[in-house]
Amino acid sequence: MLKFLPFVLIIGYALLMYQFSAWRTRRELDTRSTVLADPKLKSLTERMARALDLKRIRVHVYEIEPVNGLAAPDGRIFLTRGFLRKYHAGEVSAEELASVIAHELGHVALGHSRRRMIDFSGQNAIRLALATVLNRFLPGIGALIASGLVTVLAASLSRADEYEADAYAAALLTKAGIGTGPQKSLFTKLGTITGYAGAPPVWLASHPKSEDRIRAIEEMEARWLDEA
């Protein structure tokens, strides 16, 4: 049994890190967010809520400047203040922001938000276990190799989640009568409005390329037409 003790400790450490990360995220969002109260966006979220047979969809504003949307592990949806500034400046339309909300709803509905936190714990456990093994044969660089392999794995899982959330959003936007046009037009703007025009190699990217995301949506729409 003693020979398995290091792996038991690694798993225990990973679970502890998961709990700490979830607590820290919840605390940060609680202290730095407000409820979104924009009339135009409220009208669009009400349309999506009716499409989902929900009473309402509550969206919060995360008071940070980077342009982003996110779904918390507890199911709450957030747009950053930076994203709202782009909207108020006319760089992003209300419908395009609605597509972000629909995308984040997809992460919640498909269980991605909680799974990512669990994946985070599992990846830490794998990283530590691999580093322990590889360091026996490759002292000094085993940990680096382990970290690189886990990073590639995490990026691949993240891209798969993004495609799934895009598909959910496309279906919801279509059912709500908003359509996928704003979703696709926002993807063409992402590099400019986020300030990250460059992209890492695809195997290291947490999100697919915008053109690939647009292509996936259009292929899905073509399938819908064929099935109609």
pLDDT value at residue 23: 74
User: DSSP states of the chain as a string?
Assistant: -GGGHHHHHHHHHHHHHHHHHHHHHHHHHHHTEEE---HHHHHHHHHHHHHTT-S---EEEE--SS--EEE-TTS-EEEEHHHHHHHHTTSS-HHHHHHHHHHHHHHHHTTHHHHHHHHHHHHHHHHHHHHHHHHHHSTTTHHHHHHHHHHHHHHHHHHHHHHHHHHHHHHHHHHTT--SHHHHHHHHHHHHHHS--S---GGG-SS--HHHHHHHHHHHHHHHHHH-
pLDDT value at residue 6: 58
- For residue range 142-195, what is the model confidence (pLDDT) as tens digits? 566 556 555 666 666 778 889 999 999 999 999 999 999 999 999 999 878 876
pLDDT value at residue 15: 62
- Averaged pLDDT for residues 212-226: 94
- For residue range 83-130, what is the model confidence (pLDDT) as tens digits? 999 999 999 999 999 999 999 999 999 988 666 655 555 556 556 665
- Between 150 and 222, name the one with better pLDDT: 222
- For residue range 5-59, what is the model confidence (pLDDT) as tens digits? 555 665 565 566 666 666 777 788 889 999 999 999 999 999 999 999 999 999 9
Q: What residues does each domain of the chain span? A: 2-227
pLDDT value at residue 45: 97
| Confidence (pTM) | 0.77
- For residue range 196-214, what is the model confidence (pLDDT) as tens digits? 554 444 434 567 888 999 9
pLDDT value at residue 111: 87
